[in-house]
Amino acid sequence: MPSYKFQVTTSAGQAHAGVLTADSAGAAAAVLRKQGSHVVSIQVVGAEEGGGLMVRLKEINSGRPKQKHVLDFTTQLAVMMRAGINLRLALEGIAEQTTHVGFKRVLLQVKGDVESGKQFSEALSRHPRLFGPLYINMVRASEMSGSFSAMLDRIAEYIGQEIDTRKMVVGAAIYPGIIGTMAVGVTIFLLTFVLPRFHGVFKGKEHILPWATKFLMDLSGFMVAYWYVVLGVAVLLVGGVYAFSRTRVGREIFDKAKLTVPILRMMFRSLYINRSLKTMGQLVNAGVPMLDTLAITGDVSGNVYYRRMWEGTYEAVKTGKRINQNLQRTGLLPVSVVQMISAGEESGKLGEVLDEVSAYYAKQLKDQIKAVTSMIEPLMIVVMGVVVGFIAMAIILPIFKMSQVVK
């Protein structure tokens, strides 16, 4: 029989830990409860080491579990729950079929917590990076209402939509990113490999060279001689921008830019409105209390200004005000959306209204992503053409001048 490590609190409130042997974690938990103890945690001895060094190395190589793993797990669990399979057996079966080592370890920990007597939502809350506040609160609401499988279907649908939205946004940035990378690569190639070949041709004839040629020749010479300085500055610049974007001030600046840059602002506004209202609608329909709903909506909104809007709405509702009162003041939501939210709040159909509005903005987001992509693609091509053309003309013009002088 396997051995289990346990942590309990006695009836006197004292913490106690130890090891016992039992057929399963559930049997071990039953023994401890018969002794009058409250089980805090229980797991197979060695489970916290991930089954040994080789398993831990496999887990590192496989990377962190992603939302795709959570989606597959949620979908499978919903099917098993509808089939009447016990939660513990369902978790065990899904864990055995999971190929991702890290996610399998998480599922086994969740299974162990459930066997020890914890609620499923409480077991999930130990892994907040994978199962966020929305997931946990919707599961907790389903545990109270008894609609577990239906709620899992709603969660799976929500996660699937979030994955699709993320793919659309990333996909819209791929082509411009490729064009931009090619432009930078071609420019570096011309400056470091092509232009140095003309140093001997232009040497001693600087007085007839155009300013553009002189500038590029000097830049080329500097890059060839001090390439390590250029590379170091580039790395520091990229690292500095990334580090700055992670700070509070940097995040505010970048989030503000997303809402004000002419080409991108409509796309990002649709993204944040869709994500916020979709999250809020799911939570309202799940029966999650309104204050918890507003707090979670702010956390997942994805933009510091929208988070502040929902935090302000949370404080307003907490003092007895209606949802739309704070939303009107911020101006981050269109007036028509605020009016529909107000109408849904009055009629008691807020969840339905939020679902319909978020669906509309999901469609609008797709259209705007296509529009932004169609605008950025030719713009990037023009920029690339101008840069390469400028370098080419800076090389060709002095050659023409030199040939005329010879004649």
DSSP state of 196: G
Banded model confidence at residue 51, pLDDT cuts 50, 70, 90: very low
Q: What mean pLDDT is predicted for residues 266-281?
A: 92
Contacts of 68 (CB under 8 A, 6+ apart): 163
Q: Evaluate if residue 351 carries a pLDDT over 60.
A: yes
How do 15-21 and 38-44 pair as beta strands? unpaired
Q: Which residues pair with 194 in a beta bridge?
A: none
Range with the lowest mean pLDDT among 21-35, 113-127, 137-151? 21-35
Q: Mean of the per-residue pLDDT values for the chain?
A: 84
CA of 125: how far to CAs of 109, 131, 138, 390, in Å? 11, 7, 12, 58
pLDDT of residue 41: 65
Q: What mean pLDDT is predicted for residues 280-289?
A: 89
207 vs 78, which has greater pLDDT?
A: 78
Banded model confidence at residue 340, pLDDT cuts 50, 70, 90: very high
- Alpha-carbon distance of 248 to 270, in angstroms, equals 23
Q: Evaluate if residue 142 carries a pLDDT over 90.
A: no
Q: Which amino acid is at 278?
A: K
**Distance between the two ends of the chain, CA-based, in angstroms?**
99
Range with the lowest mean pLDDT among 43-47, 156-160, 203-207, 219-223? 43-47
357-379 burial, b at 16+ Cβ within 10 Å, e below that, comes to: bbebbbebbeebbeebbeebeee
Banded model confidence at residue 274, pLDDT cuts 50, 70, 90: very high
Banded model confidence at residue 404, pLDDT cuts 50, 70, 90: low
Alpha helices (runs of H) in 86-208, residue ranges in sequence order: 87-97, 101-115, 120-124, 133-145, 148-189, 199-202
Banded model confidence at residue 2, pLDDT cuts 50, 70, 90: low
138: its two tokens: 């919707």
- Alpha-carbon distance of 359 to 301, in angstroms, equals 16
Please give the angle made by the CA atoms of 253, 159 and 343, to the nearest 5 degrees.
75
Q: Which amino acid is at 86?
A: N
CA of 57: how far to CAs of 44, 45, 65, 69, in Å? 20, 19, 15, 19
Range with the lowest mean pLDDT among 43-52, 61-70, 311-320, 342-351? 43-52
Question: By C-alpha distance, which of 358, 366, 351, 367 is closest to 337?
Answer: 358
Which range has highest mean pLDDT (185-189, 294-298, 395-399)?
294-298
Banded model confidence at residue 276, pLDDT cuts 50, 70, 90: very high
Proportion of the chain above pLDDT 90, given as a percent: 27
Q: Evaluate if residue 235 carries a pLDDT over 90.
A: yes
pLDDT of residue 241: 92
- Alpha-carbon distance of 136 to 120, in angstroms, equals 9
Q: Which sequence spans correspond to the domains of the chain?
A: 1-45, 174-407
Q: Which amino acid is at 254?
A: F
Q: Evaluate if residue 48 carries a pLDDT over 50.
A: no
pLDDT of residue 77: 92
CA of 24: how far to CAs of 7, 38, 44, in Å? 16, 17, 9
Positive or negative, the Cα torsion across 129, 134, 140, 142?
A: negative
Question: Are the C-beta atoms of 130 and 106 separated by less than 8 Å?
Answer: yes
